[in-house]
């Protein structure tokens, strides 16, 4: 949605009330006024879309006992974290950022671990490369834009595209949530593998990806 600059004459009391609300919601005065007017006039804004998507993601994550929702400094971001069963149980963070006005990319997922352990970072990179290979293998003929991702020093970033067919914000939130849950489940299975059942474990990860992620890739 395009934005333009407009001049408005408002009462000081109104501005003070708007500023208090904007501060509470961690947004700007102009964006708060835009949201208030949009809600009153029943006009959907990017902020409302993001709120609806994040609300659905949080609802899906709350049904699991392994994720914790984190507070964010921006209404365009949502983070969840979980513990990884590796020695001292490091924390893995999934951060979803939604873009307000990109016509092609809905947003992106960033995965990282709070660690400086070189061995753990190598294992994370190994899993990320495996996951990336799975995506490029199974999604080659499903996503016109291809898979846009990058791997760097124990971090993984994956772009989510706008769907090619109409869908609701709830469907988008459900699809992103399913992606994160499957990614997390596969990563934890990867870290639990031992040499003697490596191939069987990889087969299970591939099957989980096909059963859970692929049916929803039309959305992401």
**How much is the pLDDT for 196?**
54
Distance in angstroms (rounded) separating the CA atoms of residues 2 and 25: 22
120 and 77 belong to one structural domain? yes
Range of the domain at 58: 46-216
20 and 113 belong to one structural domain? no
Q: Out of 40-44, 176-180, 214-218, pick the least confident.
A: 214-218
**How much is the pLDDT for 107?**
94
DSSP annotation of 163 reads P
Better-scored residue on pLDDT, 80 or 212? 80
Cross-strand pairs, 69: 80
121 and 135 belong to one structural domain? yes
pLDDT-derived band of residue 82, with 50, 70 and 90 as boundaries? very high
193 and 152 belong to one structural domain? yes
27 and 131 belong to one structural domain? no
Give the mean model confidence (pLDDT) for residues 90-108. 90
pLDDT-derived band of residue 111, with 50, 70 and 90 as boundaries? very high
Output the domain CATH number for residue 34. 1.10.1220
11 and 98 belong to one structural domain? no
Instruction: Determine phi and psi for 51, rounding to 5 degrees.
Output: -60, -45
Cross-strand pairs, 17: none
For residues 208 and 182, the answer to whether their CB atoms sit within 8 Å is yes
Helices 29-40 and 12-24, packing angle to 10 deg: 100
pLDDT-derived band of residue 161, with 50, 70 and 90 as boundaries? confident
182 and 197 belong to one structural domain? yes
Give the mean model confidence (pLDDT) for residues 165-190. 86
pTM comes to 0.76
Distance in angstroms (rounded) separating the CA atoms of residues 59 and 47: 18
**How much is the pLDDT for 71?**
72
DSSP 43-83: ---HHHHHHHHHHHHHHHHHTSSS-EEE--SSTTEEEEEEE
69 and 169 belong to one structural domain? yes
158 and 205 belong to one structural domain? yes
**How much is the pLDDT for 201?**
65
pLDDT above 80: residue 155? yes
151 and 164 belong to one structural domain? yes
Please provide the average confidence, as pLDDT, over all residues in the chain. Answer: 81
* Inter-CA distances, 91 with 64, 114, 116, Å: 16, 6, 12
39 and 55 belong to one structural domain? no
> How many domains does the chain contain in total?
2
33 and 110 belong to one structural domain? no
Give the mean model confidence (pLDDT) for residues 74-86. 87
Output the domain CATH number for residue 96. 3.30.1460
Within 13 Å of residue 122, how many CA atoms lie on the same side as its CB? 3
Give the mean model confidence (pLDDT) for residues 27-49. 75
Helices 169-192 and 46-62, packing angle to 10 deg: 40
Max Cα-Cα span within the chain: 73
């Amino acid at each position: 949605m395009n934005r333009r600059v407009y001049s408005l004459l408002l009462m000081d009391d109104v501005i003070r009330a708007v500023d208090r609300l904007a501060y509470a919601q961690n947004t700007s005065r102009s964006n708060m006024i835009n949201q208030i007017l949009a809600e009153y006039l029943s006009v959907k804004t990017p902020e409302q879309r993001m709120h609806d998507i994040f609300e659905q993601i949080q609802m899906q994550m709350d049904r699991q006992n392994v994720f914790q929702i984190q507070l964010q400094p921006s209404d365009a971001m949502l983070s969840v974290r979980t513990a990884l069963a590796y020695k001292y149980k490091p924390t893995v963070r999934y951060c979803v950022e939604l873009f307000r006005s990109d016509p092609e990319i809905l947003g992106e997922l960033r995965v990282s671990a709070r660690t400086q352990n070189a061995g753990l970072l190598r294992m994370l990179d190994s899993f990320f490369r495996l996951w990336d290979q799975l995506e490029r293998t199974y999604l080659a003929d499903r996503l016109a834009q291809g898979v846009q991702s990058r791997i760097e020093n124990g971090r993984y970033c994956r772009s989510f595209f706008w769907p090619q067919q109409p869908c609701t914000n709830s469907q988008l939130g459900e699809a992103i949530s399913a992606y994160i849950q499957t990614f997390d489940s596969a990563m934890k299975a990867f870290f639990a593998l031992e040499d003697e059942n490596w191939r069987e474990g990889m087969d299970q990860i591939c099957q989980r990806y096909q059963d859970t992620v692929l049916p929803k890739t039309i959305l992401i």
